[in-house]
Amino acid sequence: MTVNELRESISVGKRNFSNQKFTSNISIKQGDLERVDYCKFYDCIFERKLILKDLNSRTIKFQNCTFNNSVTFENCNLHELSITGIKSIKELRISDSIFNSVRLNSSDFINSDFFLINNYIRVDLNCSEMMINSGKFIINSRDKNENSTIKADFRNSFFDEFILLGNLNELLFQGSRIKKLSFEHVNVNKAYFKNSEFGKEALFYNCNFNFNVSFSNIKCKIGEFRIQICTVKGNSYFNNAVFDKLFISDTVFESRSSFNNVAINHFELYLVNFLKPVYFDELKIGIIKDCNRATLRTIKQELQKTDNRIDYNRFRGYELQAYYKELKWNGNFRDKFILGATWLATGFDHSWRKALAFTIFFGLFWYSILYFWEYHGAFDITEINTYFVGAFRFFLITNFSSPFDNGEYLKNAAYWLPFVFGKIFIAFGIYEMIQAFRKFKV
């Protein structure tokens, strides 16, 4: 069917076209639709360009159609635009138009670019089950009203690259897969990304989330998930999410936030302000050595506010470990030495088992030196009882008499060196063991 045949059919009131093949460029304007209030195409093939321009107060629908070239809507004001079950399309461009509702989806994976530029949609944009294997999907809304009523639905979809700029009332992205996502200067009331999967990059830049936002159960295993210069006024949920890299900077969370059971390899918080409680219960950071001290301190402080003593102690240990690595011996000898001794005695996780092993090992080490000095390097296996009786006395840190002569003090001044060092190590080990048992008291 040619463009003239199409116009002639519409001029006599025909509204429905099915199983037609259009071999020439098709251009439809308002004057071509004077006799009809809607136009529907079913299972049609468009070999060349399709252009619809300056249409008003009409409903246009395409179902299960094949577009072997580009499709353009420009300067239209339509009740409804529906392009569903797309089999193939080179490019869809919708610009400078007004709609009550728009419905877009594909019947299978397609390679195409979608540009929705400077449009105003009054009610809803439904793009659920859209499958774009290669190409961009760009929305730049001209709706500058912060109280936008648009409900945008992208559930159960697949996007190669998705870019959004503008204002929305509600955004639904559950169960979708997006290789690359960019939200910039977006103002949205409610946003839901639950059970979605992200690829090499996901960026939220200068966005306002006026009510709740959910990233629960999302996966971003191979790329960066970045939130920058954003404001979240409602509750935010990241529960059970999995990230390779999660970076949040210059962002304010005004209500409660939850990162419970989140697994992250690389995590960074920079100039993040949590105004209400934030929950980090069972947070797992895979590569803790790459986590900076400011991030660990922020998490530790928030865990303390929510009275999570177990995870608090864990992240306190991480913070001490990071601080120990940052310190240089030159100029920070005292702090470096104290933290080094703590690491040697119990580890930064304050393990009582390590403290016990430390106490026994270094106690016996210094005692053995003293023993061999006392007996001139000789050790008689038949005197093993003498060795352990002396060791028992040596481990009594308040007993400063000789472990070999009960009630007598060491007579050789040189012997006091291993004797005193041994007492110090034993006392320090016992102290660290007591601290390990008291670590759940924040």
Q: Are 110 and 132 in contact (CB under 8 A)?
A: yes
Task: List Cβ neighbours of 47 (8 Å cut-off, separation of 6 or more).
Answer: 21, 22, 23, 24, 68, 69
Extract the tokens encoding 37. Answer: 């209030």
Given this model, what pLDDT does residue 330 score?
79
Following CA atoms 128, 223, 203, 258 in sequence, which dihedral angle do they give, to the nearest 10 degrees?
80
pLDDT at 349 over 80: no
Given this model, what pLDDT does residue 132 score?
95
Which pLDDT band holds residue 178 (cuts at 50, 70, 90)? very high
Given this model, what pLDDT does residue 144 score?
55
DSSP type of residue 413: G
Q: Which residue has the higher pLDDT, 162 or 4?
A: 162
Would you give the end-to-end CA distance of the chain in angstroms? 79
Q: Where are the domains of the chain?
A: 1-142, 193-326, 334-437
Task: List Cβ neighbours of 294 (8 Å cut-off, separation of 6 or more).
Answer: 269, 270
> pLDDT by residue (tens digit) across 350-376?
777 888 888 899 888 988 888 888 777
Which pLDDT band holds residue 442 (cuts at 50, 70, 90)? very low
Runs of H (alpha helix) within 280-351: 293-305, 309-326, 333-346
Residue for token digits 């089999």? Answer: 87
For 430, left (φ over 0), alpha (ψ -120 to 50), or beta?
alpha
The one-letter amino acid code at 327 reads L
Mapping DSSP to helix (H, G, I), strand (E, B) and coil, where does residue 345 land?
helix
Extract the tokens encoding 86. Answer: 């797309």
Given this model, what pLDDT does residue 117 score?
93
Extract the tokens encoding 107. Answer: 């019947």
Q: b/e map of 62-85 (b: 16 or more CB within 10 Å)?
A: bbebbbeebbbbeebebeebbbbb
Look at residues 189, 270, 272 and name the one whose alpha carbon lies nearest to residue 233: 189
Distance between CA atoms of residues 185 and 167, nearest Å: 8
> pLDDT by residue (tens digit) across 213-267?
999 999 999 999 999 999 999 999 999 999 999 999 999 999 999 999 999 999 9
Distance between CA atoms of residues 323 and 320, nearest Å: 5
Q: Are 259 and 239 in contact (CB under 8 A)?
A: yes
Share the mean pLDDT of the chain. Answer: 88
CB atoms within 10 A of CB 232: 24
Which pLDDT band holds residue 54 (cuts at 50, 70, 90)? very high
CB atoms within 10 A of CB 134: 12
Beta strands 236-237 and 213-214, pairing class: parallel
CA 6 to chain centre: 51
Extract the tokens encoding 334. Answer: 């005292």
Q: Are 432 and 353 in contact (CB under 8 A)?
A: no
> pLDDT by residue (tens digit) across 325-336?
777 777 777 777
> pLDDT by residue (tens digit) across 262-283?
999 999 999 999 999 999 999 9
Q: Looking at the chain, how many residues does it have?
A: 442
